[in-house]
Amino acid sequence: MTKIDLSELSIKKAHELLKTGEISSRELSVFYLENIKKRNSDINAYLEVFDDVMEKAEKIDEQIKEGGRFSELTGIPLAIKDNILIKGKKCTAASKILENFKAPYNAAVIDKLEKEGAIFLGKTNLDEFAMGGSTENSAFGATKNPYDGERVSGGSSGGSAAAVASQMCLAALGSDTGGSIRQPAGFCGIVGFKPTYGAVSRHGLIAMASSLDQIGPMTKTVEDAEIIFNAIRDCDPMDSTSEETKNRKSIRRPADDSQKLKIGIPKEFFNLSGENKGIDNFVSENVFKAIGFFKNSGYEIKEISLPSLKYALEIYYVIMPAEVSSNLARYDGIKYGFSKSGENLLAGYKETRGKGFGREARRRILLGTYVLSSGYYDEYYGLAQKARDLMKADFNRAFTDVDVVLSPTTPTPAFKLGERTEDPVQMYLADIFTVSANLSGVPAISLPCGYAEIGAKKLPIGVQFMAPWFEEERLFSLGKFFEENF
């Protein structure tokens, strides 16, 4: 039997061991299932663990033995956020309104991962319909941070982040509408990657805000994120906003090839020469260290300005609820499971939606219908759309001067459970650095860059890099260099 420390594995390493026959997919799956048994009751990362894992893993082992398809994801145990459909399995979006909903088909990304022979361990917890930054909005209880059980795992993909960080899977899928992959990745000390809007099909992802949603990997290493991204990226006729990403011309600043990447730091996010108000000291210290590392490695660091970033949260919290209110209109008690009756149709709707949706979902539906209502449409939604265009133009301009943009992932490390639940604005502030990548559509990655030491606890801190549209490769190569040498 093997003496390999399975907790040290990345997808890449596991693949090499599967190739040489030093481990089997079965052994890998047993390892994660046992960890789930030990840890999930404390952490609450999984909403469901599948009962067909061993059967699938054994089939894959057979397939490998017989010389069948064997890619880097064959036999790799993954966790899937519970807003991504897997045919025949429950998909709840952590909402009571979908508590018993079974997916009638596979999401496009699931079809792709299945074709690669990946094993799905189960479905992970999230904020209801991916709305939140802590998983405290889940109808099925919050996910705790593996580094400190009194703190949040982040959100909305907190279950996926905690599962990766606590060895309950080898890697996971999350979704990111305003930071939901990157923020929990930052809080849990893992890699979180949001692809360019349109690079990955959204078909079969339960919609939150359709012009912002993207599916992406949450992994232990940058290389693993790249492996998953390459497996799931595609132009899909079932998602009209997905795009052919190969052979795209992207923005490149005029530079000779020998030059190292030029890194821009937006002064609206991070002050290079002084105090950073609103940012936790541990976070700014560690981000300064990361910047210093790049400087010492010969990268050019430049302060830049993207004036629209000042309004990022305001723009996001108008556009996002507008789209949420329209996407969530379909849960009417007729088409999907949960249903309460009333004395007439309207009363039935009210009962169903009033009882089926949690507080935050109801808040955002109300906000969204308000900003879209005829008297206020121009003042709120129309204006926010214009500001969003300005933001895209700002990024376009910035990327003719610098190759990547760096910022903290979040202003603070993981906060305490319950600390922000009564104050939505405090909760929304956790998204201040992440929403602009969704509003503009650019790809962004969060990488671990140190720890905050609070008492006896070490809390992870993330640093974020953004690149021009469809230049994910740039983030992977920079990310690998950082991961190996920082």
Q: Which residues are catalytic?
A: 81, 156, 180
From 86, 113, 112, select the one nearest 101 (Cα to Cα). 86
Position among 177, 214, 221, 325 found at the interface with ligand GLN (CB under 6 A): 177
The angle subtended at Cα 384 by Cα 280 and Cα 446, nearest 5°, is 35
And the tokens for 454? 């609070």
Residue 46 three-state SS? strand
**Residue number with the smallest Cβ distance to ligand GLN:** 180
Position among 61, 72, 176, 403 found at the interface with ligand GLN (CB under 6 A): 176
Q: Is 323 in the site for ligand GLN (CB under 6 A)?
A: no
DSSP secondary structure letter of residue 244? -
Position among 40, 92, 143, 156 found at the interface with ligand GLN (CB under 6 A): 156
User: By the 8 A CB rule, do 283 and 411 touch?
Assistant: yes
By beta-carbon proximity to ligand GLN, the closer residue of 320 and 367 is 320
By beta-carbon proximity to ligand GLN, the closer residue of 427 and 459 is 427
User: By the 8 A CB rule, do 449 and 289 touch?
Assistant: yes
User: By the 8 A CB rule, do 97 and 118 touch?
Assistant: no
By beta-carbon proximity to ligand GLN, the closer residue of 15 and 194 is 194
User: By the 8 A CB rule, do 255 and 262 touch?
Assistant: yes
By beta-carbon proximity to ligand GLN, the closer residue of 179 and 479 is 179
x/- map, 425-464, ligand GLN, by CB under 6 A: ------x---------------------------------
Position among 74, 180, 410, 412 found at the interface with ligand GLN (CB under 6 A): 180
Residue 95 three-state SS? coil
Residue 128 three-state SS? helix
Q: Is 192 in the site for ligand GLN (CB under 6 A)?
A: no
By beta-carbon proximity to ligand GLN, the closer residue of 208 and 444 is 208
User: By the 8 A CB rule, do 341 and 335 touch?
Assistant: no
109: left (phi over 0), alpha (psi -120 to 50) or beta: alpha
Restricted to residues 87-146, the positions that interact with ligand GLN (CB under 6 A) are 130-133
Q: Which single residue is written with the structure tokens 């993954």?
A: 78
Position among 75, 122, 146, 178 found at the interface with ligand GLN (CB under 6 A): 178
* Residues 486, 484: Cα–Cα separation, whole Å: 6
Q: Is 186 in the site for ligand GLN (CB under 6 A)?
A: no
The number of residues that bind ligand GLN (CB under 6 A) is: 13
User: By the 8 A CB rule, do 350 and 115 touch?
Assistant: no
Q: Tell the smallest beta-carbon distance from residue 47 to ligand GLN (Å).
A: 16
By beta-carbon proximity to ligand GLN, the closer residue of 178 and 479 is 178
From 117, 110, 226, 220, select the one nearest 171 (Cα to Cα). 220
Q: Is 413 in the site for ligand GLN (CB under 6 A)?
A: no
Q: Which residues bind ligand GLN (CB under 6 A)?
A: 130-133, 156, 176-180, 208, 320, 431
